[in-house]
Amino acid sequence: MRVLVIEDDKDVAAYLSKGLKESGYVVDATDNGKTGLHMATTESYDLLLVDRMLPELDGLSVVRMLRAGGSKTPVLVLSALGEVDDRVQGLRAGGDDYLVKPFSFSELLARIEALLRRSQQQQDVVTTLKVADLEMDLLARTVKRNGLSIDLQPREFRLLEYFMRNPGQVLTRTMLLEKVWDYHFDPQTNVIDVHISRLRAKIDKDFETPLLHTIRGAGYVLREAA
């Protein structure tokens, strides 16, 4: 699941991004409303976290403009303003939920999960991925192969999700670094090799047909046939 965080408080934005990534979400972030609106309208996200007080374009204006443009992406408004009138304004602007700061991260996660479930019921949102006999439930955050549960760490889950969203496509190290690790440079480490090795051991080791293949000199691909 891909989440856009529009938050100008650097500490809060870092806290949200770190927590969401640890929970397996792919996160993009920006610190102003104008850029956030542009990203929300030009990229595909499953959910938006929008702070109410933002530079250049305030959060409620961002939400109103998204709704006016036909966007149905779930929006959770975050704000230090917690009076009844404030919450009403946030919801009437087009927010699907409103959470007052400070909040617990566990409550934030629970509200995100509720919004995604609701969105699934209202829209044809992809919440499960399947490649051969490998299945991933994006909401329950579970993985099974041939009906057997596979336990993955959050980063392994994100890595496999990226592969399963692009079955049959060769994914380079640069693509993996950018999409899974959010690195826009080569850290000159074997981080990818280590995670690929762990992932391969979990999804392929005990099964007859390997799914994760190395394409020498190019990258890796998830597909049923070698």
Q: Which of 61, 92, 119 delimits the end of a domain? A: 119
- Which pLDDT score, from 0 to 100, does residue 37 have? 95
Give the position of tokens 């975050």.
78
Q: Which residues pair with 79 in a beta bridge?
A: 100
- Which pLDDT score, from 0 to 100, does residue 80 have? 92
| Residue 165: CATH number of its domain | 1.10.10.10
Q: Which of 97, 119, 141 delimits the end of a domain? A: 119
Cα separation, 20 vs 108, in Å, equals 10
Q: Compute the radius of gyration of the chain from its Cα atoms.
A: 19
Distance, CA of 119 to chain centre: 15
Determine, yes or no, domain membership for 87.
yes
Half-sphere exposure of 22 (CA within 13 A, CB side): 9
pTM over 0.75? The answer is: no
Percent of the chain exceeding pLDDT 70 equals 95
- Which pLDDT score, from 0 to 100, does residue 139 have? 78
Please, where are the H alpha helices in the chain?
Answer: 10-22, 33-42, 59-68, 84-92, 105-122, 154-165, 173-180, 191-203
- Which pLDDT score, from 0 to 100, does residue 128 have? 86
Q: Which of 56, 91, 119 delimits the end of a domain? A: 119
Residue type, 75: V
pLDDT mean values, one per 10 residues, the chain (226 residues):
93 92 87 95 92 94 94 93 91 94 92 87 74 90 93 91 92 88 74 93 92 92 81
| Counted domains in the chain | 2
- Do 114 and 180 lie in a common domain? no
- Which pLDDT score, from 0 to 100, does residue 61 have? 96
- Range(s) of the domain holding residue 165: 126-220
